[in-house]
Structure 1
């Protein structure tokens, strides 16, 4: 086992950014410690070897807080006092994102986009959010306080023409609070769709869609879940918190009927489009995943859940009381996962595997299979 630091980061070494709290820990040790924490937290079950990530160049999304001045903007994070720390060359980001940063900085200057100053609550430009696809295409979201600067942005978008952008949109977030985006999204260029080609499936992302920030590890997560689902070979399957349909559409390739539920209409539209392009027997519905009807004969044989960090809450008890025979649970928070498993005593944990979506941090993604006792 190596004892050397596997990723070199000048920002970390200079103490400008310490977000990667475990960067000084050898990566193999990080994985072993992560696995040990999850095994201690969750019920006894069979654990497969953790799926490792590349140590750098793995993040497909950059959420850059903009600070400083029009003439000298910073694109990165904010210090405790609200001043900006420029991280344009962050080694976690995929290379097309890093390559695009100088052009984004030029857009800020040319369009005279005043960075939002948190302490004084003044300014217009809050964030630049850039997402890269496996095909090297990019989607940009510009988070603004108001629509005041939109004419200037449209006028100067040509400074981005050399970038492989398929979508540019503006999100309006007028409130002074720790919320990344607002309700209004305005398409400025492109068709608003970024295709994430994962395991041969072209998942469609629109500006407000969620997708894992580590494409390679997300691909492995989908493959593992699909293998477990194929082994169980359920007659019916339901994907709750389905997003753009990643788990459902992977499982649908076996020819079984699949349905998915997600609260975000934009994500459901994208899942439907992908299903149609695949010719998959899959249906997707906008709704509250926690309130789906699981009663009696309507209960599917297998349910996939991929909730936000808060977990599935009262849905755990409803699953436990239902006729569902198997659950595949993908969690980004082992603490709420442990709570939810305790609320489902009718299911036995069968096996689990950790997927390191977020190297150099304590964050963990884990996939667990549960079977009816």
Structure 2
């Protein structure tokens, strides 16, 4: 992939862009195997590769500059805006949305937040694109001061972007490196973006997490299902289930699946997908994954865990070790935290693994592992 911003030295977010993509992929798997100690007896599946461009379904654009000349992109070392509207990482629907959104900033009089002076209102514009080309757009503001103007001018934005189906305002008043706040104000009649993955319409609400790379996420879910079906599991938990990606793919007649997630919005999304798809035997709970596991009286045939970057942590890892659960599917975005968690689970042997290049041109990765009790 060629990028003019990288070549000009104004953006180096894709830290490995100068390295040929096949070399990136090979280095990624070597790195993961080394961090995990390259244990004997593990079957390593071929790395799932990604398209080199147009793969990111979500654009997290920092808004800077002025009302009349806003920038959508990143900040430089001095806190000034660097416009990246032509970034090649985004699919066509997302890329095409950025110029109309910049024009909307001007039309609605949304003053970009200036980090050095701590003045202004609009901090970020977050754009998520579905495989069908529909868009979810969020405006992250310091306050609700501009809310009325956004509502007034929203029809003109919808006319310019017919693919815009969900829009919201998020209020994040703190001067801190925090992307979003706790308050979300829905602006459209429709409240969810349908992410079609492997024939399932996963419903995504504004504050729900979804994998950055839709095609690689689809491969991740397919592999998890293949391992679960091969083992003929009759019951499964999906801890840190998000909008239910793993749980909903695992759903089968005769198999019970429970998903647990702290975000009530994500749980509502998963429940909506299960209802619309008529998936039997699925149940979703809003709560802490570790607390759920520690309070359980029985264990399933399979536990799926997909924790944040920090990993499971010692309490849940040690619970899995002592629980007697026969199999664990651990999907990790950080091999270092995965290795730390595995050290607390010596009775669960790593038997299969696969690296998935969810984030090309960076040192980040996803790795799916199958653990079986010794």
Q: With structure 1 as the length reference, what TM-score do the two structures score?
A: 0.97
1:240 and 1:303 in contact (8 A); partners too:
yes
What's 1:25 paired with?
A: 19
CA distance in 2, matches of 1:350, 1:295: 28
Query: Does residue 1:162 correspond to 2:160, yes or no?
Result: yes
2:73 and 2:84 in contact (8 A); partners too:
yes
What's 1:3 paired with?
A: none
What's 2:267 paired with?
A: 268
CA distance in 2, matches of 1:254, 1:37: 39
What are structure 1's unaligned runs of at least 5 residues?
1-6
1:68 and 1:83 in contact (8 A); partners too:
yes
Query: Does residue 1:88 correspond to 2:88, yes or no?
Result: no
1:296 and 1:322 in contact (8 A); partners too:
no
CA distance in 2, matches of 1:277, 1:71: 44
Deviation at 1:159, TM superposition (A): 2.8
What CA deviation, in whole Å up to 9, does each residue of 1:110-146 have, x standing for no partner?
A: 1111100001100000000000001110000000000
What's 1:70 paired with?
A: 67
Aligned length: 367
Deviation at 1:271, TM superposition (A): 0.6
1:230 and 1:254 in contact (8 A); partners too:
no
CA distance in 2, matches of 1:96, 1:366: 28
CA distance in 1, matches of 2:104, 2:189: 17
What's 1:344 paired with?
A: 345
The correspondence for 1:114, drawn from 93, 98, 111, is 111
Instruction: Call closer, same or farther: CA 1:297–1:323 in 2, change over 3 Å.
Output: farther
1:245-264 paired onto structure 2 within 5 Å: 245-253=244-252, 255-264=254-263
1:78 and 1:85 in contact (8 A); partners too:
yes
2:251 and 2:257 in contact (8 A); partners too:
yes
What's 1:287 paired with?
A: 287
The correspondence for 1:98, drawn from 95, 98, 102, is 95
CA distance in 1, matches of 2:146, 2:292: 42
CA distance in 2, matches of 1:343, 1:333: 16
Q: CA RMSD in A?
A: 1.1
2:359 and 2:365 in contact (8 A); partners too:
yes
DSSP-derived class of the 1:208 partner: coil
What CA deviation, in whole Å up to 9, does each residue of 1:61-92 have, x standing for no partner?
A: 00000000011110000111100000001000
DSSP-derived class of the 1:155 partner: helix
CA distance in 2, matches of 1:127, 1:48: 39
DSSP-derived class of the 1:253 partner: coil
Query: Does residue 1:201 correspond to 2:200, yes or no?
Result: yes
1:198 and 1:219 in contact (8 A); partners too:
yes
Q: With structure 2 as the length reference, what TM-score do the two structures score?
A: 0.96
What CA deviation, in whole Å up to 9, does each residue of 1:145-175 have, x standing for no partner?
A: 0000111111111232231111110000001
CA distance in 1, matches of 2:98, 2:190: 22
What are structure 2's unaligned runs of at least 5 residues?
none
What's 1:35 paired with?
A: 29
1:168 and 1:190 in contact (8 A); partners too:
no
Query: Does residue 1:59 correspond to 2:34, yes or no?
Result: no
Q: Which has the larger displacement, 161-170 or 335-344? A: 161-170
DSSP-derived class of the 1:190 partner: coil
1:242 and 1:248 in contact (8 A); partners too:
yes
Query: Does residue 1:178 correspond to 2:191, yes or no?
Result: no
